[in-house]
Amino acid sequence: MSANYHFECTDCKAKYPGGEVIYLCPACAGENRPGLPPRGVLKTIYPYNAIRVMADPGELFSALKDAHFLPLLPLASCDSWPLLKVGDTPIYKWTSGQADGWNEGKFELYLKDDSQNPTFSFKDRASALVSAWAKEKGIGSLVAASTGNAGSSLAGICAAQGQRAMIIVPATAPLAKLTQVLMYGALLVPVKGTYDDAFDLSVEISRKYGFYNRNTAYNPLTIEGKKTVSFEIFEQLERQVPDRIFIPVGDGVILAGVCKGFEDLLELGIISRMPVPVAVQSEGSSNFIRNLDQATFAIKPSMTIADSISVDVPRCFNMAAAYLKKYAGEHVTVTDREILDASLRLSRSTGIFTEPAAAAAFAGMLKYRDEGLIPAGSKNVVLLTGSGLKDLTAVQSSISIPSAIKPELSAVKKIIAEKFPKQHS
């Protein structure tokens, strides 16, 4: 049986059949050069006309949901998904009273908390789909390059699927993420180099040993996995399209995935407009944003506390940049200090503790708010993509562990007087 989808190159528009192992467009991949974003990232196309006849226009989204969105995914069966529950993460609406003053009730703000996924990051969406597709094809060994989250994600998902995983990471990756990889039983291979070095090595491993490669954008299914967040946002907002979505950007695949999900709904006539995607990067790692309007791509070595979005060569640059242009997307950079302040403020006013990469999206929203760029009454979503427990070292400069005291009430008296004066007597 032929697949219900095919691939289309985002650069040369060549088409390739679905259902087979394919990464970049073969026609464009030969033109790729080190230090430049790859050409030939593939877009997954579905038979939208055939899908439309599943139900009347007003009932089509419900019909797709009842079918677990299989018509819009490159899978044959829901039985292929891992046992772990991926997706359906919570979204929270925050008002001025709950938000400690950073909203002031002028606009609607929603926080999509993907740290609630099994390995505590957004990356589980891509790993689950790649793993499920490999399972349907009888592929038992997978490989990924990662700064930490994608690797720990693939390791955990493969553990649940009975598959083998090899994870290539920079030796500087956070200890918590490396610990996850090892606890899940994957083969961890740290390298003395950058994420881009790890990426290139993983591709060589795939070519030499046949490991199915999960790499961001290199494998087109990573984009399809990440787009599922858009279906959830639409459903959770009572089937309304938000005005803006603040998205942390490294390689650009989350941005591409969010746009692809809403674009699928647009193609089917379920929605009539797209949300405005807002790309948020750290100033210390802004190779995506800095090159958007440049004729020649130039790299500035990444140096940021937000390791999950620390990327020299954005692997999904061409597709993500095209989405920004097509749908009037916007962008903003934030400093590491703004990221840490946003992480602290988010934690203390919502109870959601995110890693720096996720806090970057929140920092971008705060910057927009401070500059008066968020219209009153608009609906805005911030993607929170990973748990703060992933990188405890990053936030140490923002907190101070108190010295131990004697377990006596008298020893607490001074502390209460300073911190809770109204309760001191």
pLDDT along the chain (425 residues), means of 10: 84 96 95 93 97 95 97 97 96 70 75 97 97 98 91 96 96 89 96 90 96 96 98 98 98 97 98 98 97 93 91 95 97 97 94 96 96 94 94 82 87 85 62
Give pLDDT, residue 398: 82
CA triple 76-77-81, angle to 5 deg: 120
Residue by residue, DSSP assigns 109-135 as EEEEEGGGSTTSBTTHHHHHHHHHHHH
Q: What is the pLDDT of residue 418?
A: 83
Instruction: Give the H or E element holding residue 207.
Output: helix 195-209
How far is residue 359 CA from its own chain's centroid? Answer: 12
| Domain spans in the chain, listed from the N-terminal domain onward | 91-120+222-398
Other CB atoms within 10 Å distance of the CB of residue 239: 12
The CA-atom distances, in angstroms, between 211 and each of 17, 35, 143, 223 are: 21, 24, 6, 19
189 φ/ψ angles, rounded to the nearest 5 degrees: -125, 95
Residues 178, 57: Cα–Cα separation, whole Å: 47
| pLDDT given for residue 20 in this prediction | 93
* 244-248 sheet: strands from edge to edge: 91-94, 108-113, 379-384, 244-248, 276-282, 330-334
- Name the residue among 64, 21, 126, 14 with its Cα closest to residue 264: 64
278-324: pLDDT as tens digits: 999 999 999 999 999 998 999 999 999 998 899 999 999 999 999 99
The answer to whether the CB of 311 falls within 8 A of the CB of 287 is yes
Q: What is the pLDDT of residues 81-116, one digit of tens each?
A: 999 999 999 999 987 445 555 555 689 999 999 999
Task: Specify the fold of 91-120+222-398.
Answer: Rossmann fold (3.40.50)
Does residue 71 contact residue 121 with C-beta atoms inside 8 Å?
A: no
Global confidence as pTM: 0.94
> Strands 91-94 and 108-113: what pairing?
antiparallel
Q: How far is residue 157 from each of residues 125, 250, 316, measured CA to CA in Å?
A: 10, 22, 23
Q: What share of the chain is helix, strand, coil (3-state, %, to 5)?
A: 40, 15, 40
